[in-house]
Amino acid sequence: MNKFFSLKFAEDNLTFIEQTALPLSEQYITTDNYERIAEAIEKLEIRGAPAIGIAAAFGIALSFKNHNGKDDEYFYNVSNRLRRTRPTAVNLFWALQQMEETYKNLSSNDNIYSRLKEKAIAIHNEDIKKCDLIAKNGISIFERNSRVVTHCNTGKLATGGGGTALNVIKHAFHKGLIEHVFVDETRPLLQGARLTTFELAKESIPFYLITDSTAAFLMQQNKIDVAITGADRIATNGDSANKIGTYNLAVICKYHKIPFYIAAPTTTIDFNAKSGKDIPIEERDKTEINRIKDIKVTKSVYPVYNPSFDIIPNELITGIITEDKLYNFPYNFNV
């Protein structure tokens, strides 16, 4: 099986797979430049909430690779640059906060780069462990050989480890609990069509790629048993932000009495957000809607509304799978 990775830190460089080129071309980019890492996050060359946080942590560390001594102004300039890349994925801000706390505890006599690098590697290794635990805790949602629908990409490409929701699916498949996976294409950037299909093919897991609007028709035909997605931010009441179109999926699951689960590490929980109303929603450029790659599909002068995420109300979520355990509705993550 052809192995791949989303992020790898080696020889004082970060190497990442260029996700916008997938699945037609498997390219890797190597850099030690934090600005290049910031651009990669903005351009979705690096995407997925946990992967964004890990990349940002390495960006902070690498910014001191050739910068001697402790320099507060420089540190916060770098941190703020990375902070501006994506507003919704809370893992980004969690990772930057972890790096800031590490930096604050360093003295001018410390090897700043070495210590920051050590912390970034620890954040990456922690995510690998969390991905494995999420997969283990998620097995219990499958009572029999099931047909699953998923949205966007939640696998190895989205994390530092094996993935969140897609990792649950992969582990369940290898235990004989998954019959088939239906993959929402995930408009407008087609993360399902480009990325989830890529990962499932690598694992030899049977799947059908479908348009986002096909899921309801499949449910009407009793061809879907369970839905599972990831999340980019979870409020303390369980309201969750995920890729646009996830709310649609949750609503039709509720109507057809199909369980809808979210899988995400606890770092995705925003303890400052009491509900979905407190979660900022990123709006992206209109060219993501009026073009596919470089091909125009409508007139560029037409106005476009392009939110990258939507909010899934807690009552639509059957359970939230974390590395700690499977939480069931009602949720209260302040406890």
Average pLDDT of the segment spanning 87-104: 96
Query: DSSP labels for 153-166?
Result: --SGGGSSSS-SHH
> pLDDT at position 54, please?
98
Q: How far is CA 104 from CA 70, 71, 77, 205, in A?
A: 10, 11, 15, 46
Residues 260-284 have pLDDT tens digits of 999 999 999 999 999 999 999 999 9
Query: If DSSP codes are grouped into helix, strand and coil, which group holds residue 325?
Result: coil
Q: How confident is the model at residue 294 (pLDDT cuts 50, 70, 90)?
A: confident
Percent composition of the chain: helix, strand, coil (DSSP 3-state, to 5): 40, 20, 40
> pLDDT at position 2, please?
60
Please indicate whether residue 270 is annotated as part of the active site. no
Average pLDDT of the segment spanning 2-14: 93
Examine the pLDDT at 1 and tell me if it is beyond 50.
no
Give the Cα separation of 65 and 97 in Å (integer).
19
> pLDDT at position 56, please?
98
Examine the pLDDT at 335 and tell me if it is beyond 80.
no
Examine the pLDDT at 26 and tell me if it is beyond 50.
yes
Out of 225, 232, 270, 310, pick the active-site residue. Answer: 232
Q: Are strands 319-321 and 326-328 parallel, antiparallel or unpaired?
A: antiparallel
Residues 46-78 have pLDDT tens digits of 999 999 999 999 999 999 999 988 999 999 999
Q: What is the mean pLDDT of the chain?
A: 96
Sequence length of the chain is 335
Structure tokens of 113? 């780069």
